[in-house]
Structure 1
Amino acid sequence: MEKNILFIKNMVCDRCILSVSDILSRLQIPFNSISLGEVSLLKSLNFQEMEELSQELLSTGFEMIEDKNSRLVNRIKSVIIKGIYDDKNFSNNNLSVILSNELNMDYSHLSSLFSRMEGKSIQQFQQEIKTERVKELLGYDELNIYEIAMEVGYSSAAYLSTQFKKSTGLTPSQYKHDHVKKRSSLDSH
Structure 2
Amino acid sequence: MLLYIKNMVCTRCKMVVKAELEQLGFNPIAVNLGEVELSQESLTPAQTNTIADALAKFGFELLADKKKQLVEQAKTAIIEQVHYATEPLKVNFSDYLSQKLGVEYGSLSAVFSETEHNTIEKYVIQQKIEKVKELLTYGESSLSEIAYLLNYSSVAHLSAQFKKISGQTPSAYKQSQHTSRKTLDEI
More divergent stretch after superposition (20-29 vs 55-64)? 20-29
Provide the residue aligned with 1:119 in structure 2: 117
The alpha-carbon deviation at position 90 of structure 1 amounts to: 4.7
1:130-169 Cα shifts (integer Å, max 9, x gaps): 0111111112222122222222222322221111111111
CA–CA distance in 1 between the matches of 2:61 and 2:179? 31
Matched, 1:81 2:40: no
Rg larger for = 1
Normalised TM-score (structure 1): 0.87
Number of equivalenced pairs: 178
If asked which structure has higher relative contact order (CA below 8 Å, sep 6+), I would say 2
Q: What is the correspondence of 1:37-186 to structure 2 with a 5 Å cutoff?
A: 37-43=34-40, 44-178=42-176, 179-180=178-179
Query: Contact 2:29/2:39 (CA < 8 Å) preserved in 1?
Result: yes
Percent identity for Structure 1 against Structure 2: 40
More divergent stretch after superposition (49-58 vs 89-98)? 89-98
Helix, strand or coil for the counterpart of 2:69?
helix
Query: Contact 2:88/2:149 (CA < 8 Å) preserved in 1?
Result: no
Normalised TM-score (structure 2): 0.87
1:24 corresponds to which of 21, 25, 29: 21
Query: Contact 2:88/2:148 (CA < 8 Å) preserved in 1?
Result: no
CA–CA distance in 1 between the matches of 2:57 and 2:66? 23
Given residue 135 of structure 1, which amino acid in structure 2 is its aligned partner?
A: K
Helix, strand or coil for the counterpart of 1:153?
coil
CA–CA distance in 1 between the matches of 2:46 and 2:16? 21
1:67-95 Cα shifts (integer Å, max 9, x gaps): 01110111111111111122244544121
More divergent stretch after superposition (94-103 vs 66-75)? 94-103
Query: Contact 1:88/1:152 (CA < 8 Å) preserved in 2?
Result: no
Higher helix share: 1
